[in-house]
Structure 1
Amino acid sequence: MTVTAFIVVATSAVLALIALAVPAAKRVGVPLPVVVSVAGLTVGCLPLIFQIDTPTRFLDAYDAWIVEQIALDSQALLLLFLPPLLFEMALAVNVRRLMDDALIVLLMAVVAVVLATGLIGLSVWAFSSFSLVLCLLLGAAISTTDPSAVVSTFKEIGAPRRLLVILEGESLLNDAAAIALFTVLVALAGAEAAVSPGGVVLAFLYDVVMGAAAGIAAAWTVSRLYPLLGGSPVAETSMTVALAYGAYLLADVGLGASGVVAAVCAGLTTTVSGQVRMGPGNWRNVATVWSQIGFWANTLVLLIAAALAPALLITLHWSHALLLVAAFAGAFLARAAILFGLLPGFSLLGLAQPMTGGQKTLAWWGGVRGAVTLLLAFSLAEVTALPEADRTAVAGVACGFVFLTLLVNAASLSWLTRRLGLDRLSAGDLALREKVVAGTLEEIRQHVHELAAERAIDPQAAEDMRDVYEGQLRRTLEETQGVDIPFHKRLELGLTILCTQESQHFQDAFEAGAVGAAETRRLRTTAERIGDAARTGGRKGYQRAVDAAARVPRPLIAAALLQRAVGIDRPLRQQLGLRLTVLLETENALRDLERFVPNPLAQMIGEDAAANLGQLLAERRQMVRAQIRAIGEQYPVFTERLETLLLLRAAARRERAQYDQLHNAGVIGAELHGWLVRDLEARRRQLRRALPDLDPGLSPRALLDDVALLDPLDGDQKDRLVGYLTPRLVFPGDPPVRPDRPGRAGRQARSLCILASGVAERRDDHATVWLHPGDVVGTRALLGLADPVPAQVVAVSFCRVLLLTRRALRKLDRQEPEIAARLRAAARKQAFAKPAEAPDRGVGTPALVRSD
């Protein structure tokens, strides 16, 4: 047998073994990592028991030597399996939900790793003759809950979603932190000169920070390459594989930092930004491929590491059992200190969401170790700076600790979950399950009846089939009627369903090419935040989150500040367009949700709760429509063009769906379908490039002619006045200018605000005065007069204003005294003029009232 044939046979055998482990784990009723680790131990023990040398038995001497040379050591296993394993786990993490529990994750990851390393190291050091550095290396090796064991285990036992998110984040980050700390301690063990504690801390921080920076930078760079790949799913998937290994090598080899941290951060960054820059619909293909890669990496690394472990386990003596107990006690004591000690304190301070006692108990017992710890144990056995006997014994203790947690903790997690009641459906989920089953059975009964009529089945046989389904239907309906769910619970359940539907609507729109990447990211983030608020706070939480989403986004505020500071308006144009697109697509989603409420949502949560939610959606859509009008009144042409463009995109989306349906039904062939799709995609590309450009309309000269205060100035004077005015876009709810202090005789004003467009209101103790384009704020203060009642001016809609600041006024007095004099004269005339009767502006429209 040649070397190539031997490698192919060995690979096929290993893949067949891990494939058979999946049904075996389900049949035995234990998590998959337990079965894989037992299989690996068995494979590793066979050569020791029967004295079998597999390579030399099937190969000649030269080929056997080649196989021995390419045999995987600990470093090769880390490089081969860790990048794809961690990258795949990071792709599956909901980063936004992870950020909600970021403090808990950091506590259980970074802080717990450091604490566990210290406690384990000191515990083992107290009962052994090993050096403190070696004991700390043992602590770092076994302080990490291995992602290949923990996450897959908790997914299989159906742990609560929030607990699963926390454990996913913990497994990702503490694995990276433990390996970084282990690397620093290995360097410390081999250092000839004394190393200060500060140097150790700095080395650890360098590994983590530079590794994170390398991963984020690599993922950001690759995300800019996705649009260049022509929307090919296979090309984009291949690029993500290159990214996983490239980020690891960039940090590890190029920067001497933590490659594990780089791989994790690259995966998280791809989850946040990369997926929305891929071709529409390609993310699902990438996720599917990476799910398979993750399964291979997860099981293969554990199988191979477990097969190599017996060589270390046989070096242990019975006296080492005390060290194993000490390591186990130190590890789980550190985990308990975090979960039951630090975490409740942070929850009381409002810095972290609380966890129930059952969740904390399950998370504590779920500190399962696996392949990563085994690989670190093999690395520990290869640290030549330490005595060989000591490092081999400590590596054996680490291997024993791994299998103890797998065979005891992991194997009992399912039982503990049931004992704690964490596998039970909530009352809302139970009611939803029964109603869904009842509705499904009713549909099946009708379908059987129709099929029997169409196929002329014997009436008695049809009646027997109908009796079967009607019996099941009656039993299900009886169970449904026995579940009494309070109104507020049904309302919360409905809100959760609606928020999920909303988020899926945005994702489907993106995959169909109807919405861009930036809009999708903001829309889905908002929908998920509203959904989380609804799950925790019910209707009130939903409304609070909706109100928060209605506020002006921070990027838009930052763009407006940038325009004010340096006059750059391109970011402001982009953010205004993005804001309007988000609002229009939100309105479309709410319209679809309103149609979803009567059927089927009403069947799940009841007519009364559905009617309540329908009213809530209608109110929210009215609010969104008002926000759209607020922008549309300022930029009507842009708004109309953008609405038309989105309608054309929606039409193209429907057209593509129709072509696909005809092709799948066999009505049109592949050639015609391909021609139609290519023609459609060409038109869709034009639609994506046809996004209209928005002019913020902040040119001061164009706004001056509509201001009555400036009528005494001629055209040339207005042209010269432009250089002293500052244009500004003001958002609803914000003051266009800071409130002036009461003026004094001889004292100049702080600023003069001219409302060029939009609507604002002037609030004081007696009344609220509405301001319209052409109104001026600050004329009395401009003249050095005290305002009778200090007031505050707030924008009601988007407003464009012109500011004459205090400094600009002084400059105007010096350089253009004639313009300043005319401006003051006009201000004096307006300040002391009697208010004219307000013209009739229609019902519901505020009258034009002079501001001061």
Structure 2
Amino acid sequence: MPADELILVLVILLGIAMLLTGVSRKLPIPHTILLVIVGIALGRVADSWAPLAPLRHFQLGPEIMFFIFLPALIFESGFSIDTRQLHRDLPPILMLAIPAMLLSTCVVGLGVWWLLDIPLIVALVFGALISATDPVAVVALFKELGAPNRLNVLVEGESLLNDATAIVAFTILLGIAMQGGGIGWSDSGPIIAEFLRVFIGGVIVGSLLGFAVCELLYRMRSDMAVILTTSIVIAYASFVLAEHALHVSGVMAVVGSAIALKRFSMIRFPHDATHAIHSSWEVISLSCNSLLFLLVGLTVKFDNIMAVMGAVVLVVILILSARAFAVYSVIPVTVKLFHLPRISMAERHIMWWGGLKGGLAIAVVLSIPEALPEKQFLFDLTVGVVLFTLLVSAPTIRPLMERLGLNQLTEGEDLELRNSLITARKESASWLGELRNYSLLTKRASKGLLIRIRLAFSIGMFDEGSEKHDDDEYMALFRAYQTERTVLMLLYESEIISQYIYLRMNDSLFSMQEALRKGKNEHNAFRDSSRKSLFVLLEGGLLRYSRERLWLSKLLSRYQSLRLVQQMERHIAKVIISNMIIDMLEQQDDLARSARELLIANYQTRNKHYRHELKMAKRQFPGFYRRHMENTAHRSMINRGWNHVQQQHSQGTLGAKGYNIIRRKVEQELASISHVRAIRPDSDASVSALLDEAALFENLSSEDLNLVKNNATGITFLAGDTIVGEAERGDNFYIIIHGKVAVRKQDESGATHKIATFHDGDIIGESSLVEAQSGAHRRSATIVAKTPCKLLRVTRKAMLTIVGKYPDVRQYLQKIHGDRLG
């Protein structure tokens, strides 16, 4: 097809798709299904009407799907999926995407082999290509009906990963089929090993590429246009690099690069850039999906499908049976095994019936070489199954969700709705009062409009505008969390907190609000949201690995300094937020005083706690605390003023010349401020200064003092950090310069008990010196920081030299060791 004709066809098809988006809103069927129907109609008309003849030459080939549509659709899904919820439900998603997907391949393949009398290896090839789900229509319906976020992530996450599983399994099996070989139990080992290599290799390649590109863009200080363009480059580059250069899964490489880019961009890029990437990819995804489903419709040939209709029905039954086994047996076992929240039976019904098939299956079957005799039969069978799921399963999802009650409001959602209606009514009434005060409305007209306001934002059928409600504690909580999120955004825009802290705190608020929507109280909501994230677990592992290894001392010191800065930002934010919420609650006159006082007391307790934490940081690191607070205040004030200037410029009340003059002034002022997050608490004191505070070394000669200095490191530990772990190997010697730590020990039953508290000047690790054991010493107790602590760490080798030369030091350590053993 000539280039001009190709472009014309694409433009026409995309234009038709966009017109149908408006039409679909008035019809009871999803947009994607309407596209398939119109595509089928266009194909029929193209057969008899010459102007549309080019449509028949524009077929959905594997190259178009694999190199144009697939990377775009996979990347958009990976970038937009809720990674927080994906991590929580990763076990059931992986079970559905890999074992359940391979089980479906076997069930469908064996069934087709037995019922339709085709070679076993060819039947398994078909089982692999037809078992992947493509829930585009279902996910769109979820968003429209407000389905639970967890259900959406389960369905979309499964689709995201099982596409790769299907393609990898299909490629391996097709290779065996094209070589004319069979398959037996002896082949299962090599096949599984190859599958894991391709699948996991794709994840590693994509993740590394996403991280590297994100870091490069950050260090280059790239602007918005470069970041957006690079996101498109990485989507296609990761697929081609993995699939054709490294021979691993291109789909999993795209998934890995998308998720890595999203997670790291949230820390490295401005918030606007992340939002712009998401918006841009929504446009790309909409265009690709629209064209894809129109082309699926154009591909359909009813005569061929009717000839294999009996086989299609059998295959549909096999697919539904295999999926039923996975959804109703594998998922409950997985949820119980990993101690996850229960997935309701209604949600499992939707997951079973919503396992649709789409354009991926058609593209994969088109990639089968013509040398395979059964290609046409497999193609007709695939199109028939895809049409069944799109024209039968998809349109019935909505009534099924309504029948199962998944579109109904929970207790928390109902209260959230009532709260929004009440606050909207108050806002409208307030504006009406202002218009009345300006003498723009008569008193009679104001009364009439007030009635209309009450009707427009009525809570129920018999609501006449009363603002009385029977659960003021819930209402207060919803308003508090709404205020928290608003204030949190202001703190981020003013650069009082970094983007990383903003995202962590916002995720926590989102989790608490989701729990409230399910009808739980604040305590349960906080408990649900406090489950450790993957990052927190990795952070704990990194600290555990590095705290006793001398070669990681500098890295550990820098990382702990960064964590302290982040902790201070979080505490500052909590103090500001709690104060603003207390002020907000004092003004909520429509809520019962008792409910407000209860929540105000809660936030006052939080305020007191975080102020105490800041006070402890100030006491332990006075110079760092002062510089941090001064720079934070300076930077935030400049940014608040700059945000106001930007708003004036965008509204047209400030011209370009004035805007640019102010911009240069702001840039100059911000450049003069030492970056808040570049200030390190360990800059308050060098190792020499820490040695001056260690009474144990006050009688050392200059030569021996230099020996200790050259083998010592200052390390910061945050409250809650484990400094040494019981039974762990380590022989470093510590002196507590500032802070308080708790000493804990396990008894024979495995229960942990607190046995002592150490303060400024106390030592840790004397037993490895007194007992003079060779090799790595095993710690006799766990020591955890109760407050931010500054410790001086000295190597065992240097300390043994000092102990050997100074009897008073040896006697002191022996006395301490004896007292602790006694």
TM-score normalised according to structure 1 size: 0.82
Q: What's the counterpart of residue 74 of structure 2?
A: 86
1:695 to 652, 660, 682: 682
Q: Give how far 1:118 is off.
A: 1.0
Q: What's the counterpart of residue 758 of structure 1?
A: 739
Q: What's the counterpart of residue 376 of structure 2?
A: 392
Does residue 1:669 correspond to 2:655, yes or no?
yes
Question: Structure 2 vs 1, CA of residues 633 and 38 (structure 1 numbering), >3 Å: closer, same or farther?
Answer: same
Alignment of 1:522-541 (within 5 A): 522-525=504-507, 527=509, 538-541=521-524
Q: What's the counterpart of residue 404 of structure 1?
A: 388
How high is the sequence identity, in percent, across the aligned residues?
22
Deviation string, structure 1 residues 415-461 (Cα, Å, up to 9, x no partner):
11111111011122222222322332233234234325535445544
Alignment of 1:373-522 (within 5 A): 373-380=361-368, 383-387=369-373, 390-452=374-436, 454=438, 456-457=440-441, 459-470=443-454, 478=463, 490-491=473-474, 498=480, 502=484, 505-506=487-488, 509-510=491-492, 513-522=495-504
Alignment of 1:639-654 (within 5 A): 639-654=625-640
Question: Structure 2 vs 1, CA of residues 688 and 81 (structure 1 numbering), >3 Å: closer, same or farther?
Answer: farther
Q: Give how far 1:219 is off.
A: 1.3
Task: Give the paired residue count.
Answer: 798
Task: Decide which moves more: 261-270 or 555-564.
Answer: 555-564
Contact 2:130–2:357 (CA<8 Å) still a contact in 1? yes
Does residue 1:133 correspond to 2:121, yes or no?
yes
Tell me, in whole angstroms, the C-alpha distance in 2 between the residues paired with 1:433 and 1:8: 47
Task: Decide which moves more: 328-337 or 541-550.
Answer: 541-550
Q: Give how far 1:209 is off.
A: 1.8
Contact 1:219–1:274 (CA<8 Å) still a contact in 2? no
Tell me, in whole angstroms, the C-alpha distance in 2 between the residues paired with 1:321 and 1:71: 23
Tell me, in whole angstroms, the C-alpha distance in 2 between the residues paired with 1:512 and 1:804: 41
Q: What's the counterpart of residue 797 of structure 1?
A: 787
Question: Structure 2 vs 1, CA of residues 501 and 331 (structure 1 numbering), >3 Å: closer, same or farther?
Answer: farther
Tell me, in whole angstroms, the C-alpha distance in 1 between the residues paired with 2:136 and 2:400: 20
Contact 1:122–1:136 (CA<8 Å) still a contact in 2? yes
Tell me, in whole angstroms, the C-alpha distance in 1 between the residues paired with 2:662 and 2:166: 54
Task: Decide which moves more: 558-567 or 331-340.
Answer: 558-567
Q: Give how far 1:114 is off.
A: 0.7
Alignment of 1:16-27 (within 5 A): 16-27=15-26
Does residue 1:569 correspond to 2:554, yes or no?
yes
What residue identity is the alignment partner of 1:440? Answer: A
Q: Secondary structure at the match of 1:755?
A: strand
Alignment of 1:519-668 (within 5 A): 519-525=501-507, 527=509, 538-542=521-525, 544=527, 555=539, 558=542, 562=546, 564-567=548-551, 568-596=553-581, 599=584, 607-668=593-654
2:144 to 156, 171, 175: 156
Question: Structure 2 vs 1, CA of residues 370 and 105 (structure 1 numbering), >3 Å: closer, same or farther?
Answer: same
Q: Secondary structure at the match of 2:367?
A: helix
Does residue 1:224 correspond to 2:215, yes or no?
yes
TM-score normalised according to structure 2 size: 0.85
What residue identity is the alignment partner of 1:428? Answer: G
Contact 1:552–1:731 (CA<8 Å) still a contact in 2? no
Q: Give how far 1:589 is off.
A: 4.3
Question: Structure 2 vs 1, CA of residues 29 and 229 (structure 1 numbering), >3 Å: closer, same or farther?
Answer: farther
Tell me, in whole angstroms, the C-alpha distance in 1 between the residues paired with 2:432 and 2:556: 60
Q: Secondary structure at the match of 1:756?
A: strand
Q: Give how far 1:670 is off.
A: 2.3
Contact 2:682–2:715 (CA<8 Å) still a contact in 1? no
Q: Give how far 1:347 is off.
A: 2.6
Tell me, in whole angstroms, the C-alpha distance in 1 between the residues paired with 2:695 and 2:52: 96
Contact 2:715–2:793 (CA<8 Å) still a contact in 1? yes
Contact 1:125–1:135 (CA<8 Å) still a contact in 2? yes
Q: Give how far 1:300 is off.
A: 0.8
Tell me, in whole angstroms, the C-alpha distance in 2 between the residues paired with 1:422 and 1:458: 46
Contact 1:736–1:753 (CA<8 Å) still a contact in 2? no
Tell me, in whole angstroms, the C-alpha distance in 2 between the residues paired with 1:162 and 1:739: 39
Q: What's the counterpart of residue 34 of structure 1?
A: 33
Alignment of 1:650-799 (within 5 A): 650-687=636-673, 689=675, 691-695=678-682, 702-711=689-698, 713-716=700-703, 718-719=705-706, 729=716, 731-732=718-719, 754-760=735-741, 771-775=758-762, 795-799=785-789
Question: Structure 2 vs 1, CA of residues 187 and 574 (structure 1 numbering), >3 Å: closer, same or farther?
Answer: same
Q: Give how far 1:284 is off.
A: 1.9
Q: Give how far 1:580 is off.
A: 2.4
Q: What's the counterpart of residue 303 of structure 2?
A: 314
Question: Structure 2 vs 1, CA of residues 538 and 201 (structure 1 numbering), >3 Å: closer, same or farther?
Answer: same
Flag structure 1 segments of 5+ consecutive residues without an equivalent.
58-66, 741-749, 785-789, 834-849
Tell me, in whole angstroms, the C-alpha distance in 2 between the residues paired with 1:737 and 1:215: 36
Tell me, in whole angstroms, the C-alpha distance in 2 between the residues paired with 1:825 and 1:228: 53
Question: Structure 2 vs 1, CA of residues 763 and 116 (structure 1 numbering), >3 Å: closer, same or farther?
Answer: closer
Tell me, in whole angstroms, the C-alpha distance in 2 between the residues paired with 1:552 and 1:167: 26
Q: Give how far 1:798 is off.
A: 3.3
Q: Give how far 1:117 is off.
A: 1.0
Q: What's the counterpart of residue 176 of structure 1?
A: 164
Q: What's the counterpart of residue 776 of structure 2?
A: none
Deviation string, structure 1 residues 335-392 (Cα, Å, up to 9, x no partner):
2112211222223334432111111111111111122122223234xx23421xx321
Deviation string, structure 1 residues 245-267 (Cα, Å, up to 9, x no partner):
11111112221222222112211
Contact 2:205–2:238 (CA<8 Å) still a contact in 1? yes
Tell me, in whole angstroms, the C-alpha distance in 2 between the residues paired with 1:468 and 1:500: 27
Q: Secondary structure at the match of 1:584?
A: helix
Q: Give how far 1:806 is off.
A: 7.4
Tell me, in whole angstroms, the C-alpha distance in 1 between the residues paired with 2:265 and 2:109: 41
Does residue 1:241 correspond to 2:232, yes or no?
yes
Q: Secondary structure at the match of 1:28?
A: coil
Tell me, in whole angstroms, the C-alpha distance in 2 between the residues paired with 1:395 and 1:103: 33
Q: Secondary structure at the match of 1:79?
A: helix
Task: Decide which moves more: 638-647 or 701-710.
Answer: 701-710
Flag structure 2 segments of 5+ consecutive residues without an equivalent.
748-752, 772-779
Q: Secondary structure at the match of 2:324?
A: helix
Tell me, in whole angstroms, the C-alpha distance in 2 between the residues paired with 1:10 and 1:780: 80
What residue identity is the alignment partner of 2:388? Answer: L
Contact 1:704–1:756 (CA<8 Å) still a contact in 2? no
Contact 1:452–1:462 (CA<8 Å) still a contact in 2? yes
Tell me, in whole angstroms, the C-alpha distance in 2 between the residues paired with 1:717 and 1:344: 65
Question: Structure 2 vs 1, CA of residues 465 and 618 (structure 1 numbering), >3 Å: closer, same or farther?
Answer: closer
Contact 1:514–1:653 (CA<8 Å) still a contact in 2? no
Q: Secondary structure at the match of 2:463?
A: helix
Q: What's the counterpart of residue 774 of structure 2?
A: none
Q: What's the counterpart of residue 63 of structure 1?
A: none
Q: Give how far 1:547 is off.
A: 7.6
Tell me, in whole angstroms, the C-alpha distance in 1 between the residues paired with 2:8 and 2:530: 62
Tell me, in whole angstroms, the C-alpha distance in 2 between the residues paired with 1:697 and 1:832: 35
2:199 to 208, 211, 218: 208
Contact 1:88–1:291 (CA<8 Å) still a contact in 2? yes
Q: What's the counterpart of residue 9 of structure 1?
A: 8
Tell me, in whole angstroms, the C-alpha distance in 2 between the residues paired with 1:481 and 1:470: 8
1:117 to 105, 124, 134: 105
Q: What's the counterpart of residue 332 of structure 2?
A: 344
Question: Structure 2 vs 1, CA of residues 46 and 549 (structure 1 numbering), >3 Å: closer, same or farther?
Answer: closer
Contact 1:725–1:804 (CA<8 Å) still a contact in 2? yes
Question: Structure 2 vs 1, CA of residues 713 and 673 (structure 1 numbering), >3 Å: closer, same or farther?
Answer: closer
Q: Secondary structure at the match of 1:478?
A: coil
Q: Secondary structure at the match of 1:422?
A: coil
